[in-house]
Chain A
């Protein structure tokens, strides 16, 4: 079962959340806890990827991904499993978009450099 406070997956008959200590079964069945569909609590927030994208290839897209990563954790804290899943998907999408565009931009710049080097006939491949 999920902790309604922090989203951590706990043993089904746990009394308190192993992560934050929130009481899980205070009101018996039908209390504030939420059963995840399929019983799998896998809602990755892609925070590490988002930060790497921000720092290494594509700042604006990485920022958007970090915003969604924060929302994943925020919604899990609030017990909104479905919302968290949606934000997780968006975080993943923006990470891949940032990665793809960063890679593409690098390939284009690299290609232009080679053309430039051939055109001038000199080693103009420096200066970064």
Chain B
């Protein structure tokens, strides 16, 4: 089998195992989930901090709890899954990756949103603390 098919299959397997672990265990209590090296080193929140707790909440149908943990992740998740799915489909069936392209402008917008979000959620004042996990 083609090498990339193995990547896709093992990635899918990891996703399912990760999903089951996140469903069964609460990352706020269990200690074995991967920690954020950025948060560990700097004490600051990164753009992804609170993601595992947010996904745990989502898997239990607690949409508002998930938004409370990491709103950007909750909004971005469908797009990430779509992008991953598209990529995996191409890799699995050997299709080209140039079918349709985002204009560069939109990638710069994504970058600005992520950076702004990261800065804002580290401001320890009221309206911004909503963004922190």
Which residues of A are in contact with B by a Cβ distance under 8 Å? 6-9, 19, 40-45, 47-48, 51-52, 54-60, 63, 66-67, 69-71, 73-74, 76-77, 101-102, 105-106, 109, 113, 125-128
- By beta carbon, the residue of chain A nearest B86 is A48
With the chains together, A109 CA to B116 CA distance in Å? 28
Residue of B36, B84, B107 touching A73 (CB-CB under 8 A): B107
Main secondary structure of the interface of A (DSSP, over half): helix
With the chains together, A99 CA to B101 CA distance in Å? 24
Structural contact, A57 and B96, CB atoms closer than 8 A = no
B125 contacts A by Cβ under 8 Å = no
Structural contact, B31 and A113, CB atoms closer than 8 A = yes
Structural contact, A58 and B110, CB atoms closer than 8 A = no
Residue of A6, A56, A102, A127 touching B103 (CB-CB under 8 A): A6
Residue of A55, A59, A63 touching B73 (CB-CB under 8 A): A55
- For B30, the chain A residues whose CB sits under 8 A away are 126
- For B35, the chain A residues whose CB sits under 8 A away are 106, 109, 128
- By beta carbon, the residue of chain A nearest B88 is A48
Known: A59-B48, A66-B111, A113-B31. A6 touches B76 (CB 8 A): no
- For A126, the chain B residues whose CB sits under 8 A away are 29-31
Structural contact, B40 and A71, CB atoms closer than 8 A = no
Structural contact, A59 and B46, CB atoms closer than 8 A = yes
- For B80, the chain A residues whose CB sits under 8 A away are 48, 51-52, 55
With the chains together, A47 CA to B118 CA distance in Å? 18
- CB of B53 to closest CB in A, whole Å: 9
Structural contact, B102 and A47, CB atoms closer than 8 A = yes
- For B28, the chain A residues whose CB sits under 8 A away are 128
With the chains together, A41 CA to B96 CA distance in Å? 7
Structural contact, A127 and B31, CB atoms closer than 8 A = yes
With the chains together, A19 CA to B96 CA distance in Å? 14
